[in-house]
Amino acid sequence: MELKQKGEEANVGGFKQLMITMKWSTAADFDLAAAYETQEGKQGLVYFGEQGDLNAFPFMQLSGDEGVGDKGGDNEETMRITKLDDMKYVWMMCWDYGKVKDGAAGRFSDSDVMLSLMDDTGTSHDVTLDTGDMGNIALIATIDNSGAIGAKLVNTSKAGTLKGLNKLQDLMDIITE
């Protein structure tokens, strides 16, 4: 299933493992990351500096860091999630690392960033970034686990601007505004 437009959604509940893959060939140092909020309101971030753990909280882990130095080609970063029970929201995002460092506009409008989510049953969902907003961080998709029916995946597609990665609250302000 493909979620091409902002606001489109699909159910993703009932999995044992979820694999999120971000691919791009643009010559940019894009990074896959996931911010989260637990059912109790605790917030955190899984990214290249804190890659997470599959066997302990937050039950998410990032594969590594690709495209370093604005390398073009077949770039791919993968994040796995093994448990969503404790999570209320997981926000999947991409940032343009060099531009975040400088607080400058990112290169999303000229990029081919694609996010794919696949569960352990082989069901796949592709999410296309659908925003013309300027910024150096793009919130691509949200896993919303706040309802009683189970988790749903939403094409969130919005951008914002950070200067540095030193404040989780600045990032959360962009996500939740």
Are the beta carbons of 86 and 38 closer than 8 angstroms? yes
pLDDT per position as a tens digit, 103-162: 888 877 777 888 999 988 888 899 887 766 678 898 999 999 998 888 889 988 888 888
- The fold adopted by the segment(s) 2-176 is Lipoxygenase-1 (2.60.60)
3 state DSSP class of 170 = helix
| 143, 46 Cβ separation under 8 angstroms | no
What is the per-residue pLDDT for 69? Answer: 64
Residue 49 has a CB neighbour count (10 Å cut-off) of 11
What is the model's pLDDT at position 132? 65
Q: Per-domain residue ranges for the chain? A: 2-176
Sheet containing strand 152-160, edge to edge, reads 9-11, 152-160, 137-144, 87-96, 30-38, 43-46
DSSP H or E stretch at residue 168: helix 168-176
